[in-house]
Structure 1
Amino acid sequence: MYDLTGFQRDLLTVTAGLEDPHGLAIKDELENYYEKEIHHGRLYPNLDTLVEKGLVEKGEKDRRTNNYKVTQRGRREIEARREWESQYLDL
């Protein structure tokens, strides 16, 4: 996960946490977090990068909507990142 941008890490985290992760649901969650609009030109290329890296699988929900699912590798990467962060955070 070290080679992902912060935005891509946030995408991966949100995708892992949503019950029905599809583009607009992911976009809405990120807009709430960032408190600004996330343009499609930023969202979908970054989701495609996560798919290319094998961290997320992309499927078709219907003719207009894709759904996304974090892979086992993606979940391992999230867990490894959390363990790494916990070394530096006193929570």
Structure 2
Amino acid sequence: MYDLTGFQRDLLYTVAGLDEPHGLAIKDELEEYYEKEIHHGRLYPNLDTLVDKGLIDKSQADRRTNVYAVTSRGKREIEARRDWEGQYVDLEV
């Protein structure tokens, strides 16, 4: 996951956290988090990058809608990232 941008990591985490998310649902979640508009020209190429890296799968819900899901590799990458972060960030105060 070290080679992902922060935006790509946020995409991966968002896909992992939603039930069968489609592009617009992912876009809505990220716009709420970033508090600004996410353009399609940024969203979909980055989703495609995650697909190409084997971190998420893309399937068609219908002719116009793609649905995304985190792959087993993507889940392992998220777990590894969280373990790595846990070495440096202790949230128990």
Q: TM-score, normalised by structure 2?
A: 0.97
Distance 2:5 2:21 in 1: 20
Distance 1:20 1:55 in 2: 15
Amino acid at match of 2:87: Q
The CA deviation at 1:20 is 2.3
Amino acid at match of 2:67: N
Aligned pairs, how many? 91
Distance 2:50 2:89 in 1: 26
Distance 1:20 1:59 in 2: 10
Name stretches of at least 5 consecutive residues in structure 1 with no aligned partner.
none
Distance 1:6 1:42 in 2: 13
- Which whole-Å deviations, capped at 9, do the CAs of 1:14-70 have from their partners, x for residues lacking one? 000001211000000000000000000000000000000000000001111000010
Aligned to 1:37: 37
Amino acid at match of 1:38: I
Which stretches of structure 1, 4 residues or more, deviate above 2 A after TM superposition? none
What is the SS of the residue equivalent to 1:67? strand
Name stretches of at least 5 consecutive residues in structure 2 with no aligned partner.
none
Distance 1:40 1:23 in 2: 9
- For the pair 1:2 / 2:2, whether they are aligned, the reply is yes
For residues 1-91 of structure 1, what are the structure 2 equivalents within 5 Å? 1-91=1-91
Q: Percent identity?
A: 79
